[in-house]
Amino acid sequence: MEEKSPNSVKIFIFLGILSLIIITAVFAYTKLNGTSINFSFLKLLPSKKAESVNYGYNFVIPDTNKVEEAPTESVKEPEVPQPQAEPVKEEILSEEQVTFALNTNAEESKIGNVVIPKIDVNSPVFSGANGTKLMDQGFWYYPSSYVPDKGEVILICHRRFFAQNDPRSCWDLNLLKSGDLIQINNTSGQPVRYLVSDVSVKDTQDVDIFSVSEDKILKIVSCSLPNGLPGGSVNRIVVTATQL
């Protein structure tokens, strides 16, 4: 076994003493300045960043120590569609007028349709005693009426039971003026044409509204406010037209 040389031993002892002097000096300095020092050999080793781990440019896992708990979102209840309001049904006839209509023997059926181009009306016309049911489908051919081309015809219709743009609705009757066209087509498609001669608002109990003559005229009757607008049944709007 080879022995160490005297010079090697001296160098080793010198380095040990020098290291002890340096360490002592460092501790003495930190003691005088009120600081502390913590030696860790692990800190000298290369370390990975703790903030995140990158698994591709668009998938980064954050440091779990720095992730805040996500706020809890309230779960919204699904919206339930609200039922549409029932259409307003106007009471156009008085009790006496209803009694008169029910005492007739008119057959209940569709007898044609009425067209009023200016206000986009194109509605079926029904005849029969049950005016309440028939008006819910279109225009009611009032039972005391004559046959078109033979005498006076009375048609009754709702203003607010149907939507304003429904072709069966009389909502815009107040917009009609003298000279506007109204056409009644029978079941065979033969037209009878009338020109508006008057638009008036009458009292609810005015008996002349539902009286008929042998004159070849047409009356369209519906409910009305006193100013002729839709919105109530305190009055009656009456459109009178003369056959061409």
pLDDT in tens, 83-142: 666 777 777 777 777 766 666 555 567 888 999 999 999 999 998 888 888 888 899 999
Q: Homologous superfamily of 95-243 in CATH?
A: Sortase (2.40.260.10)
Amino acid identity for residue 11 in this structure: I
Q: pTM value?
A: 0.62
Low-confidence ranges of the chain (pLDDT < 70): 1-7, 9, 26-85, 99-108
Return all residues near 66 (Cβ < 8 A) that are at least 6 apart: 51
Parse the chain into domains and list their residue ranges: 95-243
Positive/negative CA dihedral, 137, 91, 160, 178: positive
Q: Are 78 and 222 in contact (CB under 8 A)?
A: no
Tokens standing for 67? 């992730």
Alpha helical stretches, state H, the chain: 6-32, 95-102, 131-135
Report pLDDT for 41. 42
pLDDT at residue 104, as a whole number: 56
The reported pLDDT for the residue numbered 84 is 65
Residue 231 is predicted with a pLDDT of: 85
Position 133 scores a pLDDT of 85
Residue 192, pLDDT score? 92
Spell out a b/e string for 130-139, using b for 16 or more CB atoms within 10 Å of the CB, else e.
Answer: ebeebbbebb
Supply φ then ψ for residue 229, to 5 degrees.
-85, 155
Six-digit token pair at 227?
């100013």
